[in-house]
Amino acid sequence: MEVVIGTTVIALAHAEGAIFAIDGICAHQGGPLGKARLEGCQLTCPWHGWQYDLATGKQLLSRTIAQRVFSTRVVGDTIQVRLPPIG
């Protein structure tokens, strides 16, 4: 799913027993990774099919391309995402 925190768009996914948060704007042409297909820990962008590893953010064909990933934790019924400091 896609969530927006401030000005940051995040794709949030539950995969293989963990919650992952990755930059929700695809590095290719800005596709919505919050609407990507999820298979295991692999996310496929709905626009042109670039694929990313949820845990590392790395694009699967060109490992030099990577989305930012953010740490998450679950507190009660809430998913918390750690974003870098602003500024």
Cβ contacts of 52-55, under 8 Å, gap ≥ 24: 52/22, 54/13, 54/15, 54/20, 54/22, 55/20
Tell me how far, at minimum, the Cβ of 51 lies from ligand FES, in Å: 9
Q: Which is nearer to ligand FES, 42 or 47 (CB)?
A: 47
d(CA 40, CA 14): 9
Q: Which is nearer to ligand FES, 20 or 50 (CB)?
A: 50
**Can you give the binding site for ligand FES, defined by CB under 6 A?**
26, 28-31, 45, 47-50
Tell me how far, at minimum, the Cβ of 61 lies from ligand FES, in Å: 11
Side-chain half-sphere exposure of 66, counting CA atoms within 13 A: 10
Q: Which is nearer to ligand FES, 13 or 26 (CB)?
A: 26
The helix/strand/coil state of 34 is helix
Tell me how far, at minimum, the Cβ of 29 lies from ligand FES, in Å: 4
